[in-house]
Structure 1
Amino acid sequence: MLTIERALVEKIVAHARADHPDEACGIIAGAVGSGRPTRFIPMINAARSPTFYQFDSTEQFQVWRDMDDDDEEPVVLYHSHTATEAYPSRTDIGIATESPVGLNVHYVLVSTRDPDTEEFRSYRIVDGEVTEEEVRVVEAYG
């Protein structure tokens, strides 16, 4: 289960809507070992595509370096789908399977296909297997 503060959900959705019609992408970092997403890090979609996202390699290097310096790790990797539901594509599954971030990361997808509906879902992707998980939105961590 992903437990996340409402303010972070709102930032992810706002980023996804702002970058529409291109996919948006980013990270929410948290203290190493905490499993708690705390720091919102919107990133540039270097692909600038409505159907694909790719972190800018220079920006990604700097973000990972900053997280390391701050004893943080990626807790959430997020991106948007602009014309389809918030479910991982084959490409998304391949990226997650090859990712070095580990098994504890939550893969969040937001669909911006309908401007009046908020579709926000989270998954675990391990060895190519996709499992949707419950998302619990809280006002603040207790």
Structure 2
Amino acid sequence: MLVIRRDLVDAMVAHARRDHPDEACGVIAGPEGSDRPLRLVEMVNAERSPTFYRFDSAEQLKVWREMDAADEEPVVIYHSHTATEAYPSRTDISYASEPNAHYVLVSTRDPEVHELRSYRILDGVVTEEPVEVVEAYEPTGAGAAAE
């Protein structure tokens, strides 16, 4: 299950709407091993296409190095579909290279309502997972159980 703050969902949807009719893409970093998305990084769709996305390789290298330096990892990798449902395409599946990431798709095909779905993609196998949108994350750490 993906647990994600509402402000991050709103930011992904806003990015997808802003880049429409081209696909938008980005990553949400979080502390290594936490499975907690915290820091959204909008990235450039190097393809500038309504049907395909690809991270710019130089930008991706820079962002991944920044995450490494901050002991972060890509918790969410997101992109939008502009004319189809929020389900990974064959190309999306073939490019999925982060085994621990949640792959979030936002469909902007309806100008009034967005569709947001999350998947795990491992070795070409797509598994949809529930998404829980929260206002804030529950506290973590030693005292969290008592709170």
TM-score normalised by length of structure 2:
0.92
Q: CA deviation at 1:90?
A: 0.6
What is the percentage of aligned positions where both structures have the same residue? Answer: 72
Report the counterpart of residue 120 of structure 1 in structure 2: 116
Map of 1:1-142 to 2, 5 A cutoff? 1-96=1-96, 99=97, 101=98, 103-142=99-138
Extract unaligned runs of 5+ from structure 2: 139-147
- Partner-residue secondary structure (3-state), 1:41: strand
Extract unaligned runs of 5+ from structure 1: none
Q: How many residues align?
A: 138
The amino acid of 1:22's aligned partner reads D
Q: List structure 1 runs of 4+ shifted beyond 2 angstroms.
A: none
Distance 2:25 2:114 in 1: 16
How far does the alpha carbon of each residue in 1:101-128 deviate from its partner, in whole angstroms, 9 at most, with x for none? 2x21000000010011120000011111
TM-score normalised by length of structure 1:
0.96
Distance 1:83 1:70 in 2: 36
Root-mean-square deviation over aligned CA pairs: 0.6
How far does the alpha carbon of each residue in 1:6-62 deviate from its partner, in whole angstroms, 9 at most, with x for none? 000000000000000000000000000101000000000000000000101111111
- For the pair shown, the structure with the greater C-alpha radius of gyration is 2
